Amino acid sequence: MHKKTILLIGFILLTLTSCKTQYELLMEGSDVDAKFKAAFELFDSERYLKAADMFESLSMQTNGTPKDDTVQFYWGYSNYKYGDYVTAEENLNNFITVYPNSSYTQRAKFLRIDCLYKSTYRYELDQTPTYKALSVIEQYLLEDSDSPDVDKVLDMQKDLRSRLELKAYKSAYLYYHMEDYKAARYALMNVLKENADNQYREDILYYIAMSSYKYASMSVPNKQKERYMTYVDDYFNVISEYPESSYRKELDGLYEKVQKLNIINSEEE
């Protein structure tokens, strides 16, 4: 190769090397203390993605050293602050497993829960992440009841449970919307069987009664008496629990219609 060409290549390589940023040089280097300091400077200046990369790079060098739990925790914390909740949850879960007694562990548990919470979906979609988050929350409340973050976790738990209750109610209501009243009553009753304290209990009882009435009204004559009596039972279930229900007027009107059919009186005789 010509001597001038070799010199030119050498000059280009030198130029490229000199153009590397301090961050890149640190990432490629082995100075643990300098990288450790730089990682926290990046974190404190809210450059969380670069901080996460620096902590990740450090984790391979501080393994087994006194700095390791700090590096591992802030690796996950940086990803959390950046908004990469999937990666952060994985980081934090690994940290909790490896360092159950670290001074950072309780905080890591809360951050992991917040990652799981932020990774759940609205009620219409798959609720598998919600069930996972609730499972981890229950364990946290048993093990870390003295945590300063307990109230926040309880709020998350309440919201997630509310989401599941709404999904159960709306899934059952879908049969009513489709005018499959027999299936609707069965599905709605199952919602209350599985969770009697569902926050939509009044609405569910109302649609159970309405399903009974509409199913009876659409039945052949020789089946109507028995099915209207089911409505009567469902009607009394609603008004006994919710005498001031906003549905009361409508349900009372349907009850009066059933009375006029002489079904109730004949049944009593």
The answer to whether residues 198 and 172 touch, using CB atoms and an 8 Å cutoff, is no
Q: pLDDT tier at 261 (50, 70, 90 boundaries)?
A: confident
Q: Give the pLDDT score at 16.
A: 42
pTM for the predicted model, two decimal places: 0.83
Q: pLDDT tier at 17 (50, 70, 90 boundaries)?
A: very low
Domains contained in the chain, CATH given: 25-119 (1.25.40.10)
Q: pLDDT tier at 263 (50, 70, 90 boundaries)?
A: low
Q: Give the pLDDT score at 30.
A: 79
Phi, psi (rounded to 5 degrees) for 261: -80, 0
Q: Give the pLDDT score at 21.
A: 82
- Could you tell me which of 107, 109, 113, 203 has the C-alpha nearest to residue 155? 113
Q: Tens digits of per-residue pLDDT, 106-141? A: 999 999 999 999 999 999 999 999 999 999 999 999
The angle formed by the CA atoms of residues 217, 223 and 226, to the nearest 5 degrees, is: 90
C-alpha 42/C-alpha 65 separation (Å) is 22
Q: Give the pLDDT score at 254.
A: 97
Using the predicted structure, report yes or no on whether residue 2 has a pLDDT greater than 80: no
Q: Tens digits of per-residue pLDDT, 67-100? A: 999 999 999 999 999 999 999 999 999 999 999 9
Token pair 């905080």: residue: 107
Q: pLDDT tier at 264 (50, 70, 90 boundaries)?
A: low
- Could you tell me which of 77, 82, 81 has the C-alpha nearest to residue 95? 77
Q: Tens digits of per-residue pLDDT, 4-15? A: 555 444 444 444
Cα dihedral across residues 90, 81, 66, 100: positive or negative: negative
Q: Tens digits of per-residue pLDDT, 157-181? A: 999 999 999 999 999 999 999 999 9
Q: Tens digits of per-residue pLDDT, 202-246? A: 999 999 999 999 999 999 989 999 999 999 999 999 999 999 999
Token pair 């001597």: residue: 3
